[in-house]
Amino acid sequence: MAEALQVSIAELLTGDVVKNENISGNMKKMSFYVCPICANVIQSVGEGAFCCCGITLPRLEEEEKDDIHMPQVEVMDGEFHVFLEHEMTKEHYISFFAYVTSNYAQFVKLYPEQNAECRFTRRGHGAVYAYCNRHGLYKVLV
């Protein structure tokens, strides 16, 4: 029925139709969504309604800055070296880093028991994001 009506199953079940007014997204306004069940990560340039594992995902909101979760960025050989001194256990870890400019995005998925670091090709001014599976999304301007 959802296919015939050209709506998502979530829209069909809730009765709320999502109309996307944003026909051309801006990369700097990128949003992130993370499934609390399977840890799937979704990136979106425009507004949207995203579901995973049967639940509607809320958009991640940027957390207040703190010393433990703010990504450190150094310029090395024309690249950004991004790192964090953060535990990387199966229960508590940095799940991803992302580097976003006005027209470009790079994403690195991290896993428990590896170092919380990566390198991004430098593409100008933008933002570096770090997502902690327990405490949320953090951003630093570069």
Which residue is listed with tokens 């508590």?
92
pLDDT digits (tens, 9 = 90+) for 52-71: 998 999 999 999 998 889 99
Look at residue 29 in the predicted model and tell me its pLDDT.
83
Last residue of a domain, one of 30, 45, 60: 60
- Structure tokens that stand for 23 in this block: 């026909």
Print the domain residue range for 8. 1-60
Residues 82 and 131 in one domain: yes
Q: How far apart are the first and last CA of the chain?
A: 47
Q: Is 106 helix (H, G, I), strand (E, B) or coil?
A: strand
Amino acid at 69: H
pTM: 0.82
Tell me the C-alpha distance between 123 and 78, whole Å: 9
Last residue of a domain, one of 40, 60, 80: 60
Query: CATH number, domain at 79?
Result: 2.60.40.730
Tell me the C-alpha distance between 24 and 46, whole Å: 7
pLDDT digits (tens, 9 = 90+) for 72-128: 999 999 999 999 999 999 999 999 999 999 889 999 999 999 999 999 999 989 999
Q: Is 27 helix (H, G, I), strand (E, B) or coil?
A: helix
Residues 82 and 33 in one domain: no
Q: Is 141 helix (H, G, I), strand (E, B) or coil?
A: strand
DSSP state of 133: T
Residues 76 and 44 in one domain: no
Residues 131 and 142 in one domain: yes
pLDDT digits (tens, 9 = 90+) for 6-37: 666 767 677 776 666 655 567 878 999 999 99
Residues 38 and 76 in one domain: no
